[in-house]
Amino acid sequence: MKIRLEHNWREFENGLSGRDAKIRYFVKSNSNLAVLALMARLDSGFDIVSGGELERVIRAGGKPDNTIFSGVAKTENEIAHALKSKIFSLNLESPAELKRIHAVAKELDVPAPVSVRVNPDVDAKTHPHISTGLREAKFGVPFEVALELYRFASQQRHLAVKGIAVHIGSQMTSLDPIISALSQVIDFVKQLNRDGINIQHLDVGGGLGVRYKDENPPTIREYCRSILDLLEKRGCNLSISIEPGRAISAHSGVLISRVEYLKATEAKRFAVVDAAMNDLLRPVLFDAWMEIVPVKQKATIEEMLSDVVGPICETGDFLGKDRLLAVESGDLIAVLGAGAYGAVMSSNYNTRPKPAEVLVDSNHFDAIRTRETFDQMVNLEVIPEQIRI
Ligand code: LLP
């Protein structure tokens, strides 16, 4: 077995063995159909955030009844689609959303499986843009509100209380915030039990960080162990879901780009490459440091401190700053850790076609997305008759 995606997934499987636990791969981190098909073959569950992702899971052979629908703004159509597909759980994030799910379920005359995502007000100690468990975040509801939602849901014929969910952030490198959030959730489940509301399932979220530079996140096994230990210590025997994205996909992928030009100004040196912020948005959006290496090491060239920049007309168009690189025009470079939140966050900005995606298994490789063409980029655009030349 050589595919890194599978190796990482199995680390979670082994880490959770002995427990009634399901890995629900977080589709948003890398949603290529081949990646999802590979997960489906492992009998992985999925965590999705849109109707489009639900379609992807189904297309790839995944099972909706092993899929959780997260996200703060599910539309009526998405809810109906999920219910008709027999989704495992709709993780709701507001009273208004519960009301809407209830209405759609009544209309379809089916019980909607629901879990409330609670917001425990815990600092995940990660980049503010990917921290989701603080009171100020748009995510989840406070425990008091969750209690009201459970009380209401437990009395409705068209709502089936499935479980409880929490997810406090992404790229977390310390276990403390996760353990603190889960402890609060376990206390709350006990309170619900005393209220006669029985929760069977605990969705512990995702968010385990990876090493991009010098971070020191726990290993997958350590992360699983500490969650299981906590549950055991607190006498919590609910079945659990875990929703890892990045920990499975980040280091399963690299972005390959070619050096077009080397440029030097009085102030800086630049390696101008043919990939750009439209292909990989993380560096400028999150100030993310991602390692950049030449595909072939060349001992004959001198290492230079360079900014690795793309062709887009924006100063924010960089993949890395102040990197020691020995490259010349025509060389290939690889940006490491690009398997998560890379292609999925890409765009056609500057009318740049999206690149090909390739799945590599040792010496074997398959194209799993072909290079986009100009026609595919403009196909949906229409010039109205009256302004056509
Ligand atoms: N579950 C829920 C409800 C989530 O919102 C997320 C991530 C996950 C699980 C999985 O988190 P992971 O295991 O991948 O950390 N674009 C950002 C990351 C956004 C993550 C959003 N939600 C980045 O490039 O760093």
Asked if residue 70 has its Cβ within 6 Å of ligand 1, the reply is yes
pLDDT for the residue numbered 1? 46
Asked if residue 246 has its Cβ within 6 Å of ligand 1, the reply is yes
- Residue 199 in this model has a pLDDT that exceeds 50: yes
pLDDT tens for residues 304-358? 999 999 999 999 999 999 999 999 999 999 999 999 999 999 999 999 999 999 9
- The residue whose C-alpha atom lies closest to atom 19 belonging to ligand 1 is 130
Residue 377 Cα to ligand 1 midpoint, Å, equals: 28
Q: Among 23, 26, 53, 255, which residue has the most ligand 1 atoms within 8 Å of its CB, making it the best to mutate?
A: 26
CB 160 within 8 A of CB 112: yes
307 - beta bridge partners? 270
Asked if residue 243 has its Cβ within 6 Å of ligand 1, the reply is yes
Residue 139 Cα to ligand 1 midpoint, Å, equals: 12
pLDDT for the residue numbered 2? 62
Q: Which atom of ligand 1 is nearest to the CA of 281?
A: 24
Residue 29 Cα to ligand 1 midpoint, Å, equals: 7
Asked if residue 341 has its Cβ within 6 Å of ligand 1, the reply is yes
Asked if residue 339 has its Cβ within 6 Å of ligand 1, the reply is no
Alpha helices in the chain (DSSP H): 4-15, 33-41, 51-59, 76-84, 95-108, 143-153, 176-194, 220-233, 246-249, 282-286, 374-378
pLDDT for the residue numbered 352? 98
**pTM of the predicted protein model:** 0.96
Whole-angstrom distance, CA of residue 144 vs CA of residue 99: 17
Asked if residue 126 has its Cβ within 6 Å of ligand 1, the reply is no
pLDDT for the residue numbered 136? 81
Structure tokens given for 306: 């360079």
Whole-angstrom distance, CA of residue 41 vs CA of residue 232: 30
Residue 201 Cα to ligand 1 midpoint, Å, equals: 21
Asked if residue 247 has its Cβ within 6 Å of ligand 1, the reply is yes
Residue 205 Cα to ligand 1 midpoint, Å, equals: 9
**What domains, with CATH codes, occur in the chain?**
2-250 (3.20.20.10), 253-372 (2.40.37.10)
Average pLDDT, integer, range 233-242? 96
Average pLDDT, integer, range 5-30? 97
Asked if residue 245 has its Cβ within 6 Å of ligand 1, the reply is yes
In the three-class reduction of DSSP (H, G, I as helix; E, B as strand; rest coil), residue 6 is classed as helix
Residue 207 Cα to ligand 1 midpoint, Å, equals: 6
Which of the residues 267, 299, 313, 382 is marked catalytic?
313
For residue 153, what pLDDT band results from cuts at 50, 70 and 90?
A: very high
Integer angstrom CA distances of residue 360 from 1, 32, 39, 44, 253: 12, 14, 15, 20, 9
pLDDT tens for residues 96-133? 999 999 999 999 999 999 999 999 988 877 887 777 77
For residue 134, what pLDDT band results from cuts at 50, 70 and 90?
A: confident
CB 25 within 8 A of CB 244: yes
Q: Let me know if 224 is a catalytic residue.
A: no
Asked if residue 26 has its Cβ within 6 Å of ligand 1, the reply is yes
The residue type at 94: S
- Residue 135 in this model has a pLDDT that exceeds 90: no
The residue type at 34: A
CA-CA-CA-CA dihedral for 243, 285, 370, 7, to nearest 10: -30
- The residue whose C-alpha atom lies closest to atom 20 belonging to ligand 1 is 170
Question: Going by C-beta distance under 8 Å and a sequence separation of 6 or more, which residues neighbour residue 372?
Answer: 348, 353, 354, 355
